[in-house]
Structure 1
C-alpha cells in the first residue's frame, strides 16, 4: 500500500532516534520514496549520513541551507510529501506544533504542508502523562494529526511505562492500513463478507503420522490481511500453519479436509466473496489406525480414498451474484490446467502459479501469478511479496465485480 508513496520522515532528538533508521529502511522496502528532516538535537543521537545512505536522498537539517536557488526547501518538501511522519516525536516538537511555532526545518515544513501528518511519540512515561503534553496531543488530534500510539515497556531512562516509540514494523503496518482504509470506500471489497481458506490439511494415518503438503498458509493469510485492510468483513479458515492470524479477522482453525469442508459449508451461504487458497488434501487414508504402526521388515501400503472437492462443491452450489475464486498450483502447463479448472468448477476467477520454482510458491515470502477470469480477462503479476500479490488479486476481484455485478 505504500508503493510509490512520497514520505517525509521527521526525526527529533531522543534516544529512540536510532529506530528511525530502521523505519527508513522498512519504508524503502515497502516501496516508499523517503526524504528525511532532522532536528538539530536529533543529529546528536544519529548522523545525517546514516539517513542519506538509507534513503538515497540528501538529509535536511537547517532551514537556511537552500540546495537549489530556485526552490525554498521547506516549501518544496511540504508540497512534495504524500505523508509526513514524525518518529520519534518529542514533547518539545509536539508542543511547538500544537502552538503553531516554526523555528527550524521540521516545524516550518509541518506548518506549510497539506499532507496528512502522523506523529509517533517517544519520551519518559512521566513526560508522556504530563497534563501539558496530553493537552498538546489533544489539540493536535483536533487539528487532524494522526497519532501512532506509544508502546508500554522498559524505557531508556530506567522507568517502566508508556512512552516507548512504536516498533518500526508496527509503524509501517499502521501506515499501510491507514492508506488502505482511505482507499477502501472506493473499492468493491469494502463492507463485503469475505471467506478465505488457507494452509494445508493433515490426514491422520495413526497417532504418530499424517499425510500433508508443503503449503505454509502465507498466501491465504496475506489475502486475509489485505481484505481486512480494504474494509472487508473477513473470515479466515486455516489448516495447521505457523502464521499469525491478522488483526480484525474472524479466525477458524481446522485440521483435516473434512474439518475444512464442514467449516466452509457453515459459512459459505453468508459470504459475498469466497477465496479458496487452501491446499486441501485430495486423498486420505481409508483406515485411521488407533495405535501407532510399528516398523516392519516388509513394505507398508496404505489404501487411500478421495476427499470431497471443496472448490467443486462450492461451484456447484454457488448463489446468484456470489464471487468464487480458486487457486491452481501446478508444476507444468499452468495456464492450460488453470483454464480447465476455472470452467469445470464454475469459478469466477482462478489464480495460477507454478510451484517448484526458487523464490515463489509454497513457504516462499514471494509469488508470481496468472489471474484468469470467467469473463475472459487475464493478468500476469510478476514476482512480488505475497501481501502485494494479495492486493493485486483483490483489485482484480473488485474490477470483476464492477464489470459483472455482485449480490
Structure 2
C-alpha cells in the first residue's frame, strides 16, 4: 500500500523586523535522517513526503519529496491545516522545534518610562535602528501545533518529540509520556540536549503503552521511527 508521510523539521523563526528574527539552534538533521530512512525502507512504498521547514533549513531533494517552506509558527500551522485537510496522510513526524513565543511588538525603555511604566508595543516597518540603547521586545505565546494535528486528521499516526536539558532519565521519560497522552501521539522521541554531540544522539522512542526503545545515533533513531510506523500501519491494515 502506498503511504504518504508528513515531516516537520528544523526550527522556526519569529519575525522582529524586516532583518531580524527570534530563532533556535535546531538544525533539522534528524528530520533529514527520518526522510532518508522512509525513502530507503524496502517494506514501505512511499507515495509522497511533505517536508515542512523554515527557509534556512536544509531539505531533502527527491522526486517523492515536496518541500514546503514555512515562516514562523503560524505559517507552519497554516501549512499543516492545508495539507492535512486536502490529503490522506498516514503518519506525521513532528520533529520541528517550534518556538513557544512570537513577537507581539517592540518598544523602548525610554518610551515605557515616558508613559509612566505602561507598555504600548508596536511593529516597526523596515529595520529597527541600531542606535537604540534599550530595545524592549514583548512576546506572546504561540499555538501548540502538536495539539492540532490529530484534530486535523484523526487517522494519521503521530510521532512527537520532547527535548529537555540535563535532567534525570526518569524525568525525561515521564515528561515525554505526558506529552504523548495530552496530544494523542502514537510515539514520542524523548532526548536530552546534553546527550547530543556529533554522531552521538541518545533517544528514547516511547510508544502509547509506555514501553520504549533506546537509540544512540540519529540514523538509529530515524530507522527506529520508520520501522515503528511501518509496523503500526501493517497492524492497522490487518485489523489488529
Following superposition of structure 1 onto structure 2, how do residues 223-234 of structure 1 map, counting pairs within 5 Å?
223-230=34-41, 231-232=45-46, 233-234=48-49
2:128 counterpart of 1:293: yes
C-alpha distance in structure 2 between counterparts of 1:203 and 1:216, whole Å: 16
2:205 counterpart of 1:388: no
C-alpha distance in structure 2 between counterparts of 1:370 and 1:235, whole Å: 25
- Indicate if the aligned counterparts of 1:217 and 1:241 stay in contact, CA closer than 8 A: no
Residue matched to 2:182? 344
Q: How many residues align?
A: 211
How far residue 244 of structure 1 moved from its aligned partner, in angstroms, is 4.1
Q: What SS does the corresponding residue of 2:16 show, helix, strand or coil?
A: strand
2:62 counterpart of 1:247: yes
2:147 counterpart of 1:312: yes
- Indicate if the aligned counterparts of 2:150 and 2:156 stay in contact, CA closer than 8 A: no
Task: Pick from 236, 239, 248 the counterpart of residue 51 of structure 2.
Answer: 236
Q: Using structure 1 for the length normalisation, give the TM-score.
A: 0.48
Residue matched to 2:8? 197
2:96 counterpart of 1:264: no
Task: Pick from 23, 26, 32 the counterpart of residue 221 of structure 1.
Answer: 32
The change in CA–CA distance for 1:387 and 1:317 in structure 2 (over 3 A counts) is: same
By percentage of residues, which structure has more strand? 2
Give a deviation string over 1:157-216, Cα, whole Å, max 9, x none. xxxxxxxxxxxxxxxxxxxxxxxxxxxxxxxxx621101111111111012211001001
By percentage of residues, which structure has more helix? 1
How far residue 391 of structure 1 moved from its aligned partner, in angstroms, is 1.0
Could you tell me which runs of 5 or more consecutive residues in structure 2 were left unpaired when the two chains were aligned: 106-122
Q: Using structure 2 for the length normalisation, give the TM-score.
A: 0.79
Point out the structure with max Rg over C-alpha.
1
Q: What SS does the corresponding residue of 1:376 show, helix, strand or coil?
A: coil
Answer with 204-213 or 392-401: which moved more.
Answer: 392-401
Could you tell me which runs of 5 or more consecutive residues in structure 1 were left unpaired when the two chains were aligned: 1-189
How far residue 402 of structure 1 moved from its aligned partner, in angstroms, is 4.0
